[in-house]
Amino acid sequence: MSEVLAAIELGGTKTVVALGDARGAILEEHRFPTTTPEETLDVALDWWRERASFQRLGIASFGPIRLDRRREDFGTFLTTPKRAWQQFSLVRYFQDRLPGVSIALDTDVQAALLAEMDRGAARGMSDALYLTVGTGIGAGLCCGGALVHGTLHPEMGHLLVRRHPEDDFAGVCPYHGDCWEGLASGPAIAQRWGKPAQLLPTDHAAWDMQAWYLAQGLYAACAMLSPQCLILGGGVSQAEGLHAKVATMLDACSAGYFEDLGARLVAPALGQQAGIIGALLLAAND
């Protein structure tokens, strides 16, 4: 029998744990709410231990989190709005309780991108971006076949964007107010228009404005990295007709300078499974 690997995807509201193989095939998985660090991770440990022993663990986590293995605080959460998780060391928690198990760590969006590049919407590509627009805006980036980390990891949600001429909304980012996430995340839409995004009709003015903002951040990524593919996912991306509007706006931003930016925009192929499959692949590639 092939080796069994463990994986966990830690999200802001829910956590997924799984056991699978080195090709990223899930054998069994379990979803439960994310609460405090110890409570959440104890559930994960018990679930794995009841089912299998393993030597490799892949973690896909919300951020910001230290990914540089050379740093003493590798695997520690930084300034997350989830107060209970701030300064909590995820990697130390697992190292202490799973001696000898090797641990691979990346962000949830980078893991989702890895899975989409392995078998999904960006299969066979070397340069791609995965954008999720939900409670926040997060991005995973891969350049020349390598996930991009830099000194931390991509934080595209905090890009600064040009304001829509009819928008005087202050924005919801606690740090910057009107950064990209501050203007275009799900909570920004809900506050600006007085109701959640999924209740705004398709012909509401919110959607042209939303496409304006989403296209700008994606355009910035294209100008810097020239990816082959832009995967647009997350709760807000499910709004009917939004993909087509963003593609049109991307071409409008490009104004004929770049070729076919709008055509590079695609929907995720793996849906909710991308993060946990990516976590398994992180463990497998470690």
Site residues for ligand ADP per CB under 6 A: 11-13, 134-135, 186-187, 196-198, 234-236, 238-239
Distance in Å, CB of 135 to Zn ion, minimum: 13
Q: Which is nearer to ligand ADP, 56 or 138 (CB)?
A: 138
Q: What is the dihedral of CA 149, 20, 274, 98, to 10 degrees?
A: -40
Q: Which does 272 bind (CB under 5 to 8 A by kind): Zn ion, ligand ADP, none?
A: none
Distance in Å, CB of 234 to ligand ADP, minimum: 4
Distance in Å, CB of 174 to Zn ion, minimum: 8
Residue nearest to ligand ADP (CB): 186
- Please state, in angstroms and rounded to a whole number, the distance separating the CA atoms of residues 198 and 186: 9
Q: Which residue has the tokens 């600064």?
A: 160
Q: Which is nearer to ligand ADP, 12 or 64 (CB)?
A: 12
Distance in Å, CB of 217 to Zn ion, minimum: 12
Q: Which does 179 bind (CB under 5 to 8 A by kind): ligand ADP, Zn ion, none?
A: Zn ion
Q: Which is nearer to Zn ion, 173 or 261 (CB)?
A: 173
Distance in Å, CB of 161 to Zn ion, minimum: 11
Q: Which does 115 bind (CB under 5 to 8 A by kind): Zn ion, ligand ADP, none?
A: none
- Please state, in angstroms and rounded to a whole number, the distance separating the CA atoms of residues 224 and 156: 12
Q: Which does 186 bind (CB under 5 to 8 A by kind): ligand ADP, Zn ion, none?
A: ligand ADP
Q: Which is nearer to Zn ion, 82 or 176 (CB)?
A: 176
Q: Which does 173 bind (CB under 5 to 8 A by kind): ligand ADP, Zn ion, none?
A: Zn ion
Question: Contacts with Zn ion in 167-186 (CB under 5 A)?
Answer: 173, 175-176, 179
Q: Smallest Cα–Cα separation from 171: which of 209, 205, 200, 203?
A: 209
Q: Site for Zn ion (CB under 5 A): which residue of 82, 92, 149, 158?
A: 158
Q: Smallest Cα–Cα separation from 235: which of 142, 163, 133, 166?
A: 133
Give the contact letters, 113-152, x = binds to Zn ion (CB under 5 A), - = no: ----------------------------------------
Q: Which is nearer to Zn ion, 20 or 63 (CB)?
A: 63
Q: Smallest Cα–Cα separation from 24: which of 7, 47, 11, 41?
A: 7
- Please state, in angstroms and rounded to a whole number, the distance separating the CA atoms of residues 273 and 196: 25
Stretch that binds Zn ion, among 17-25, 85-93, 140-148, 155-163 (CB under 5 A): 155-163
Q: Which does 196 bind (CB under 5 to 8 A by kind): ligand ADP, Zn ion, none?
A: ligand ADP
Q: Which residue has the tokens 């404005």?
A: 209
The residue ranges that bind Zn ion (CB under 5 A) are: 158, 173, 175-176, 179
